[in-house]
Amino acid sequence: QKEVEQDPGPLSVPEGAIVSLNCTYSNSAFQYFMWYRQYSRKGPELLMYTYSSGNKEDGRFTAQVDKSSKYISLFIRDSQPSDSATYLCAMARGNFGNEKLTFGTGTRLTIIP
Amino acid sequence: DAGVIQSPRHEVTEMGQEVTLRCKPISGHDYLFWYRQTMMRGLELLIYFNNNVPIDDSGMPEDRFSAKMPNASFSTLKIQPSEPRDSAVYFCASSTGVDEKLFFGSGTQLSVL
């Protein structure tokens, strides 16, 4: 079993819909949770960065962490065609710089105009 | 800042040839990472450096792969000899090490025929 599981999709939704992307993990030591967005033929770019459990909102994006369930989510409100990309979750225990980030395999999202 | 700069963007070579990928990290970032991305395996960490010193190369698949960082502004990943199964997108990323935020380059698409 992988440490981080992510549904690869693809996921297609109409413009304006609410999108929910999810990852589950098995290592209870993870404390830092990130979402990266990757456009086609580009490198991943950091979208959201959260610590421990709870919610974090940034514009149309909300990151949610439920450590008791080992489950994290990214919600996109009022989705736009420009949100079409692959979304990767990533996690770390902390110990900055001294360990590897663990990435999910990514979910490919398409927003249909 | 121009971000992480990688070259070349695309590399097509024949099996058995030497391939050298290049990376310039963001100025002031003390950590540099080399990742490989494939559809099957997602993002895999190959090696990372701290202050130009290799810290963890356990992800380097074989002795055919080597990486160097002669100074704070330049790193190379070399594959010699290359094989078709090395075909992938290779990303370089850098980080301050203060937190787990990684900044990725645009990647090098490598095709080994």
- A47-70: per-residue pLDDT in tens? 998 888 889 999 999 999 999 999
Is residue A99's pLDDT more than 70?
no
Judge whether A44 is closer than 8 Å to chain B, CB to CB.
Answer: yes
Q: What mean pLDDT value characterizes chain B? A: 94
- A10-32: per-residue pLDDT in tens? 999 999 999 999 999 999 999 98
Residue given tokens 């070399």 in the structure block: B78
- B37-70: per-residue pLDDT in tens? 998 888 999 999 999 999 999 999 889 999 999 9
The pLDDT assigned to B34 comes to 96
In B, minimum Cα distance to A49 occurs at B101
pLDDT band of A9, cuts 50, 70, 90: confident
Neighbours of A89 (CB within 10 A): 27
Interface contact flag, A97 B45, Cβ < 8 Å: no
Interface contact flag, A49 B101, Cβ < 8 Å: yes
Average pLDDT, stretch A36-45? 95
The pLDDT assigned to A7 comes to 86
Q: What mean pLDDT value characterizes chain A? A: 92
Torsion of CA B2, A86, A1, B49, to 10 degrees: -10
User: Nearest CA of chain A to the CA of B42: how many Å?
Assistant: 5
